[in-house]
Amino acid sequence: MAKAGLEKKVIIAHAVLFFFIIGFFLYSNFMERAQQISSEQELDEKDLSSIEHLIGTCPRNRLCTTPSCPMWSDINEDGICDRSVR
Protein backbone atom coordinates (compact mmCIF):
# COMPACT_ATOMS: atom_id res chain seq x y z
CA MET A 1 0.00 0.00 0.00
CA ALA A 2 2.82 2.36 0.95
CA LYS A 3 4.65 1.36 -2.23
CA ALA A 4 1.60 2.27 -4.33
CA GLY A 5 1.37 5.65 -2.59
CA LEU A 6 5.03 6.36 -3.22
CA GLU A 7 4.62 5.33 -6.86
CA LYS A 8 1.72 7.75 -7.26
CA LYS A 9 3.78 10.55 -5.71
CA VAL A 10 6.73 9.80 -8.01
CA ILE A 11 4.47 9.85 -11.08
CA ILE A 12 2.93 13.18 -10.04
CA ALA A 13 6.32 14.76 -9.24
CA HIS A 14 7.77 13.51 -12.52
CA ALA A 15 4.83 14.86 -14.51
CA VAL A 16 4.80 18.24 -12.74
CA LEU A 17 8.54 18.77 -13.20
CA PHE A 18 8.41 17.57 -16.81
CA PHE A 19 5.57 19.92 -17.75
CA PHE A 20 7.26 22.76 -15.87
CA ILE A 21 10.51 22.29 -17.85
CA ILE A 22 8.71 21.85 -21.17
CA GLY A 23 6.42 24.82 -20.44
CA PHE A 24 9.39 26.97 -19.47
CA PHE A 25 11.21 26.19 -22.72
CA LEU A 26 8.15 26.70 -24.88
CA TYR A 27 7.38 30.01 -23.14
CA SER A 28 10.99 31.27 -23.37
CA ASN A 29 11.11 30.28 -27.05
CA PHE A 30 7.85 32.09 -27.67
CA MET A 31 9.08 35.23 -25.88
CA GLU A 32 12.39 35.13 -27.72
CA ARG A 33 10.62 34.88 -31.06
CA ALA A 34 8.21 37.69 -30.19
CA GLN A 35 11.16 39.90 -29.16
CA GLN A 36 13.00 39.01 -32.37
CA ILE A 37 9.99 39.98 -34.51
CA SER A 38 9.49 43.29 -32.68
CA SER A 39 13.20 44.17 -32.92
CA GLU A 40 13.13 43.36 -36.65
CA GLN A 41 10.19 45.71 -37.06
CA GLU A 42 11.99 48.44 -35.11
CA LEU A 43 15.05 47.96 -37.27
CA ASP A 44 12.97 48.33 -40.44
CA GLU A 45 11.49 51.58 -39.21
CA LYS A 46 14.94 52.90 -38.22
CA ASP A 47 16.37 51.90 -41.58
CA LEU A 48 13.65 53.73 -43.46
CA SER A 49 14.13 56.96 -41.49
CA SER A 50 17.92 56.84 -42.01
CA ILE A 51 17.51 56.14 -45.72
CA GLU A 52 15.13 58.97 -46.40
CA HIS A 53 17.77 61.71 -46.16
CA LEU A 54 20.19 59.66 -48.28
CA ILE A 55 17.88 59.36 -51.26
CA GLY A 56 19.54 60.83 -54.28
CA THR A 57 22.86 61.47 -52.57
CA CYS A 58 24.85 58.74 -54.25
CA PRO A 59 27.25 60.40 -56.69
CA ARG A 60 27.60 59.06 -60.20
CA ASN A 61 30.29 56.42 -60.65
CA ARG A 62 30.34 55.77 -56.90
CA LEU A 63 29.10 52.55 -55.40
CA CYS A 64 26.46 53.03 -52.73
CA THR A 65 24.15 50.59 -51.05
CA THR A 66 21.07 51.06 -49.00
CA PRO A 67 19.82 48.16 -46.92
CA SER A 68 16.57 47.71 -48.82
CA CYS A 69 18.26 47.82 -52.24
CA PRO A 70 20.33 45.23 -54.08
CA MET A 71 24.12 45.37 -53.83
CA TRP A 72 25.77 48.52 -55.21
CA SER A 73 22.55 50.44 -55.65
CA ASP A 74 20.71 53.29 -53.95
CA ILE A 75 17.16 54.58 -53.83
CA ASN A 76 16.57 57.30 -56.40
CA GLU A 77 14.14 60.23 -56.18
CA ASP A 78 11.29 58.01 -57.36
CA GLY A 79 11.99 55.54 -54.57
CA ILE A 80 13.38 52.96 -57.01
CA CYS A 81 16.72 51.27 -56.46
CA ASP A 82 19.22 52.68 -58.92
CA ARG A 83 22.98 52.36 -59.35
CA SER A 84 23.62 56.07 -59.26
CA VAL A 85 21.25 58.97 -58.93
CA ARG A 86 23.30 62.00 -59.90
Partner 1 sequence: MRIQIIRHSVQLAFILLLFTAFFASLPHFMLIVLIATILGGAFYCGWLCPFGTMQEVANNVAGLFSKRRIAVPEKAAKYLVFLRYVFFALSLLGVSAVFFLDARISFLDMLRGDLLSLAAYSVVISFIIVSVFIDRLFCNYFCIQGAYFGVFSALRVFRIKREHKSCTGCRICDRICPMNIKISEKKYVSSLQCINCFKCTSKCPKRGALRYSFVDFRDVGLKKRFQKNRPKKKQSGKKIKSR
- Chain positions contacting partner 1, by CB under 8 A: 3, 6-8, 10-15, 17-19, 21-22, 25-26, 29, 32-33
The distance of closest approach from Cβ of residue 73 to partner 1 in the complex, given in angstroms and rounded to an integer, is 32
- For partner 1, the closer CB: 23 or 67: 23
The distance of closest approach from Cβ of residue 16 to partner 1 in the complex, given in angstroms and rounded to an integer, is 10
- For partner 1, the closer CB: 18 or 72: 18
The distance of closest approach from Cβ of residue 39 to partner 1 in the complex, given in angstroms and rounded to an integer, is 16
**Separation between Cα atoms, residue 57 and residue 46, nearest integer Å:** 19
Q: Give 81's strand partners.
A: 75
3-state secondary structure of 82: strand
Kindly report the backbone phi and psi dihedral angles of residue 55, in degrees, each rounded to the nearest multiple of 5, phi listed first. -55, 125
- For partner 1, the closer CB: 26 or 48: 26
Kindly report the backbone phi and psi dihedral angles of residue 25, in degrees, each rounded to the nearest multiple of 5, phi listed first. -70, -40
CB neighbours (10 Å) of residue 73? 19
